[in-house]
Amino acid sequence: MEHIRTTKVEQVKLLDRFSTNNKSLTGTLYLTATHLLFIDAQQKETWILHHHIASVEKLALTTSGCPLVIQCKNFRIVHFIVPRERDCHDIYNSLLQLSKQAKYEDLYAFSYNPKQNDSERLKGWEVIDLAREYKRMGVPNGKWKLCDANRDYKVCETYPKELYVPKSATPPMIMGSSNFRSKGRLPVLSYCWQGTEAVICRCSQPLSGFSARCLEDEKLLKAISTANSGNNYMYVVDTRPKHRMQSWWDTQKDIGRIIVRISSKIWNDEKIRESDEKKRLNAMANRAAGKGYENEDNYSNIRFQFVGIENIHVMRSSLQKLLEVNGNKGLSVNDFYSGLENSGWLRHIKAVLDAAIFLAKAIVVENASVLVHCSDGWDRTSQVCSLGSLLLDPYYRTMEGFMVLIEKDWISFGHKFSERCGHLDGDPKEVSPVFTQFLECVWHLTEQFPQAFEFNEAFLLQIHEHVHSCQFGNFLGNCQKEREELKLKERTYSLWSFLLDDKQKYLNPLYSSTSETVLEPNTVSFNFKFWRNMYHQFDRTLHPRQSVLNIIMNMNEQNKQLEEDIKDLESKITQCKNGMLTKDLLHAVHPEPPALKTSLCLKEQSLLPVNDTLRAIEGSNPADNRYCDYPEEFSKPEPAVVSLEYGVARMTC
């Protein structure tokens, strides 16, 4: 509250950014400790969680007031016109402070209280059990064992405590490989396909330098390969673009020539221009620093595959270009599609899916194990391993299985959620939409295989919403060690139990548990489309298109509501009949006075449903938004019916 100078501003205008005639709503803007709230003249409410705010921009003063533009991480954009510049400046400064917290304890999850006791909170965290998941995959077994070398996070701080490695792996092999790999992320098991002995393993890049090698790492990779008796080779999939890695390999061949020529230029005090020589010098520096890939001369029975997924900086830039096109209301259809193409976003989505398809085909068609890595093994590696497992295993296409998949390949293996999502005030260059890309890849799969997934689009959108909301503890922190130090299970609540409590809302009516076992998606260009419900989910004035799936879901909801109404009416009819029977018996013994009949009539009327006002809230509820802290400002009577939806809140009273 110390960052809030102005809590209430009246006569604020909320502009419709896609309206051609500058249509706006006038209302009151409230600033609380957790939310920004706008209530218009019709009492419709718009809630924006502070943690959802990606940027705040105060534009130049105009004749109608001071513009304030807020862009959110869930792709909502709001444009306010504040009458007085001083009020706008106060709101602007407050939001800058409240949207970028300095420490985890200031995040919403540590103050959020859904009125559950400690046992209920812990039960919510126990919904997902990774030990049970590995047991479902059939490990430990004769080829793979549970390794406790990392129980104190001494081998790798960003890995989970429990690691599964080949049964023949020895402690020296594990420690040696860890020391040889970036961030200590040695090759370990991610997924075991029960059809054969083929597996998906993951790690980080080797610190191979110019000519360094590690015998322990070579032995560990051989142990992974020999654990699969169905094939005498394994794939090493480097998710980075081949042209970048090829420059490192070329460096080995003509290192002497480059050093001589560059040294000559430096000796003559000449400037090194952007040339092939400088690029190769950079590649040499990278390799000298230990950034590289496995040398096939040192590793027997491995085959290399580069799949060409760009790094976090390219992805961040691509998304920014997409959002610039997305927010331009003056574009024609052709210009929009041209801008979408130039952003490269869908090409990146295709690259990630193609990599996952390669994994699935290697395991199913060639019966070959696969080892996946990128640079540090927590971004592109998580994308490819999780999507590859999703293509192979129908369990991960169920609601519970998808939660398990995220816990296993993203949360436990150290995807840096807090850095990539900008939970705290940190380096903006570390922010990147890696997990958003994963969810979009899954959405494209649901579009191609609508019967293969138990969950619907709303489920994916809700997960994306809460990755950024900081309302639950699942995605806080950058690794399991950090989460244990924060004691998240004792101090915050789990998103998974929250979603399962409202499971019916996220079920796909087209789902068939007997659909395809292994998915084989087609990644030709025309199968990729703009995810409107992700990037335009809050723009209600755009062309109101609705998919067939959404129509079916709405019809199912209406049918369920009608069935409940029928049961309710039948129950009331039965009650009325019983009441009339009782009244007739009483009347036979003691005739009823007229006043009693009137009372009975009123009693029967009370059984009818009350037509209370319906209020739709997206992303919050009154308890979350702290009405109790502002009794003088939020004095409206509470409605009887509250409906929760994903997104930023919009209420109708």
What DSSP designation does 64 have?
T
Q: Is residue 417 part of a domain?
A: yes
Examine the pLDDT at 253 and tell me if it is beyond 80.
no
| Confidence band for 601, pLDDT divided at 50, 70 and 90 | very low
275 shares a domain with 192: yes
The 3-state DSSP class for residue 308 equals coil
- pLDDT tens track for 255-282: 444 434 444 443 344 443 444 454 445 4
User: Residue 613's pLDDT is what?
Assistant: 36
Residue, of 554 and 70, whose pLDDT is higher: 70
| Confidence band for 249, pLDDT divided at 50, 70 and 90 | very low
Q: Is residue 386 part of a domain?
A: no
554 shares a domain with 517: no
146 shares a domain with 266: yes
| Confidence band for 504, pLDDT divided at 50, 70 and 90 | very high
177 shares a domain with 244: yes
User: Residue 650's pLDDT is what?
Assistant: 41
User: Residue 321's pLDDT is what?
Assistant: 96
209 shares a domain with 190: yes
Q: Is residue 311 part of a domain?
A: no
254 shares a domain with 373: yes
Q: Tell me the percentage of the chain whose pLDDT exceeds 70.
A: 77
516 shares a domain with 580: no
| Confidence band for 8, pLDDT divided at 50, 70 and 90 | very high
User: Residue 575's pLDDT is what?
Assistant: 85
Is 16 annotated as contributing to ligand binding?
no
Is 653 annotated as contributing to ligand binding?
no
| Confidence band for 135, pLDDT divided at 50, 70 and 90 | very high
Q: Is residue 382 part of a domain?
A: no
User: Residue 283's pLDDT is what?
Assistant: 43
Of the residues 512, 542, 572, the one at which a domain ends: 542
Structural domain total, the chain: 4
- pLDDT tens track for 558-580: 888 899 889 989 888 888 888 76
Q: CA 414, CA 240: separation in Å to the nearest integer?
A: 19
96 shares a domain with 178: no
Does residue 192 have an active-site annotation?
no
CB atoms inside a 10 Å sphere around CB 441: 22
Examine the pLDDT at 633 and tell me if it is beyond 80.
no
User: Residue 622's pLDDT is what?
Assistant: 41
Q: Is residue 113 part of a domain?
A: yes
78 shares a domain with 10: yes
User: Residue 85's pLDDT is what?
Assistant: 93
| Confidence band for 583, pLDDT divided at 50, 70 and 90 | low
| Confidence band for 585, pLDDT divided at 50, 70 and 90 | low
Q: Is residue 266 part of a domain?
A: yes
**CA 503 to centroid of chain Cα atoms:** 18
CB atoms inside a 10 Å sphere around CB 618: 21
Is 39 annotated as contributing to ligand binding?
no
Is 204 annotated as contributing to ligand binding?
no
Amino acid at 25: L
Q: Which long-range contacts (CB under 8 A, 24 or more apart) does 403-408 make?
A: 403/127, 403/128, 403/496, 403/499, 404/128, 404/130, 404/133, 406/463, 407/128, 407/130, 407/474, 408/130, 408/133, 408/190
57 shares a domain with 122: no
Is 377 annotated as contributing to ligand binding?
yes
Is 378 annotated as contributing to ligand binding?
yes
Considering the candidates 88, 192, 214, 374, report the single residue annotated as catalytic: 374
Q: Is residue 344 part of a domain?
A: yes
Examine the pLDDT at 545 and tell me if it is beyond 90.
no
| pLDDT, mean of residues 591-602 | 42
| Confidence band for 632, pLDDT divided at 50, 70 and 90 | very low
Name which of 1-10, 45-54, 107-116, 501-510 the model is least confident about: 1-10
Is 491 annotated as contributing to ligand binding?
no
Residue 453: give the domain boundaries.
102-129+324-354+396-542
- For the record, the structure tokens of 87 come out as 């009020």
Q: Is residue 362 part of a domain?
A: no
343 shares a domain with 256: no
412 shares a domain with 482: yes
CATH of the domain at 52: 2.30.29.30
